[in-house]
């Protein structure tokens, strides 16, 4: 095998001529001098259109970081030529071994992107000897290549829309998940109608008309845009969010009951000073109610023996709190039934909640009535945001991994590579 063929195989490059190889024994660095083959020269770095030459850049040879050769760092070196593109103006010419505006070879970028989706932040930075901010820039470049080659929004029929927090200070991402594949297909910063409208702008009117079902949590900033942009799509309310509304109402009733119990005689005891002031702890009935939170929240089939005993005590000692618990479980049972039986059960639940004499649940009944068509659609089609919530959980984990990315687009690119149905392969693997 010729030396230039061997070095092309080691570098993983094509359409490239290897001119020279220099090894620095002191710095443990290999520098491979290359140039593109004749037919690849003089092309725009953005559109790869053949253009007239402009200049030789700064007159200095440019280096790109390649994959290490064992413990030896490797760099690819070539002239930094600029061309005059009719569309993009004066830009750096395209090179076969690296992406435009990159300081690393394609193989280096691909390996870093793969590691970012598979391993920890520390493992990536230490193994590849780069900073975490550099990882973010590489992930964005690789994700842009994937998006250019693969239309994630093509063929969508049933989607789920939700938001997920990615940073303190009310910083949210709006995410769209394909129910058929479970893949994350779109994400952008923001949590308002304008953000959802940007999704439909990217989707286009023709593909918006192809949507058959959209699931959401009932937020008006989602449902309003969906009704306008895809009126033919069946809007399904997410049962998880509806039951969570009932759970919040139940917890309000528990807090009210706890406050009444601890204000009664013998409901609290002083146990010391905190920051110079006295404070009191619950005891007796107030303490039992305070500790019944998880028993009230959990599904009956998941209760422990102790939690079952707590619910039995609540049923005899606090009928109002127990009634609130039964209302929460009644709403959960509606979605467990589904279909026509679920609709009938929901109607009976609405009648019950209207006369339950618990203000927060009465208001919940009115709120559910406002979303009744979407709830009926969810019962008919069995569509929930479970896939979306699963993706949101993984995005929260990715957010912890991506801590240090200053740009949310880097986080989105990492989420897309991890959850979008296409992960970059390791270099040299099929």
- Domains for the chain: give ranges and CATH numbers: 1-103 (no CATH), 158-238+386-403 (3.30.420.10), 242-381 (no CATH)
Q: Within 10 A of 283 (CB to CB), how many other CB atoms are there?
A: 16
pLDDT for residue 273: 55
User: How far, in Å, are 66, 134, 171, 192, 408 from residue 404 at the CA level?
Assistant: 24, 11, 15, 25, 10
Write out the H or E segment, with its range, that includes residue 342. helix 339-354
Read off φ and ψ for residue 44, nearest 5 degrees: -60, 135
CA distances from 258 to 239, 255, 282 (A): 28, 5, 9
pLDDT of residue 227: 93
- What pTM value is reported for the model? 0.82
Closest CA to 160 of 172, 174, 178: 178
Distance CA 184, CA 349 (A): 35
Tens digits of per-residue pLDDT, 57-105? Answer: 777 889 999 999 989 999 999 998 899 999 999 999 999 999 998 999 9
**Which pLDDT score, from 0 to 100, does residue 1 have?**
44
pLDDT tens digits, 354-400: 999 999 999 999 999 999 999 999 999 988 888 999 999 999 888 88
Q: How far apart are the C-alpha atoms of 223 and 214, rounded to whole Å?
A: 9
CA distances for 191 relative to 164, 199, 211, angstroms = 9, 12, 21
Per-residue pLDDT reduced to its tens digit, 262-295: 877 655 655 555 555 444 555 677 788 888 889 9
At 282, list the tokens: 């619950």
* Cβ neighbour number for residue 382 with a 10 Å cutoff: 12
């Amino acid at each position: 095998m010729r030396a230039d063929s061997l070095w092309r195989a080691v570098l993983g490059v094509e359409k490239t001529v290897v001119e020279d190889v220099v090894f620095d024994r002191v710095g443990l660095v290999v520098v491979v001098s290359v140039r593109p083959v004749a037919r690849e020269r003089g092309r725009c770095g953005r559109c790869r259109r053949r253009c007239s030459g402009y200049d030789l850049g700064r007159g200095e040879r440019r280096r790109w970081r390649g994959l290490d050769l064992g413990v030896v760092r490797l760099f690819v070196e070539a002239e930094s030529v600029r061309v005059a593109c009719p569309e993009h103006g004066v830009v750096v010419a395209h090179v076969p071994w690296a992406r435009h505006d990159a300081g690393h070879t394609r193989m280096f970028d691909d390996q870093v992107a793969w590691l970012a989706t598979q391993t920890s932040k520390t493992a990536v930075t230490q193994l590849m000897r780069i900073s975490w901010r550099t990882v973010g820039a590489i992930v964005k470049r690789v994700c842009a290549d994937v998006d250019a080659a693969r239309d994630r929004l093509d063929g969508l029929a049933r989607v789920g829309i939700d938001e997920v927090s990615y940073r303190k200070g009310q910083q949210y991402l709006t995410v769209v998940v394909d129910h058929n594949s479970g893949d994350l297909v779109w994400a952008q910063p923001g949590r308002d109608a304008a953000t959802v409208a940007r999704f439909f702008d990217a989707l286009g009117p023709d593909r918006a008309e192809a949507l058959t079902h959209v699931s959401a949590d009932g937020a008006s900033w989602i449902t309003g845009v969906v009704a306008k942009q895809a009126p033919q799509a069946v809007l399904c309310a997410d049962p998880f969010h509806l039951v969570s509304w009932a759970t919040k109402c139940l917890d309000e009733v528990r807090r009210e009951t706890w406050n009444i119990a601890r204000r009664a005689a013998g409901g609290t005891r002083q146990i010391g000073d905190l920051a110079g002031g006295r404070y009191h702890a619950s005891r007796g009935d107030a303490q039992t109610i305070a500790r019944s939170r998880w028993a009230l929240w959990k599904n009956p089939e998941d209760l422990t023996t102790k939690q079952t005993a707590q619910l039995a005590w609540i049923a005899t000692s606090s009928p109002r709190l127990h009634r609130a618990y039964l209302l929460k479980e009644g709403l959960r049972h509606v979605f467990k039934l589904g279909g026509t039986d679920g609709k009938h059960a929901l109607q009976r639940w609405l009648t019950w909640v209207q006369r339950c004499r618990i203000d927060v649940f009465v208001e919940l009944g009115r709120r559910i009535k406002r979303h009744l068509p979407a709830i009926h659609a969810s019962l008919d089609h069995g569509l929930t945001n479970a896939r979306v919530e699963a993706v949101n959980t993984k995005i929260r984990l990715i957010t912890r991994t991506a801590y240090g990315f200053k740009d949310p687009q880097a986080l989105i690119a990492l989420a897309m590579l991890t959850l979008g149905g296409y992960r970059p392969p390791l270099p040299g693997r099929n």
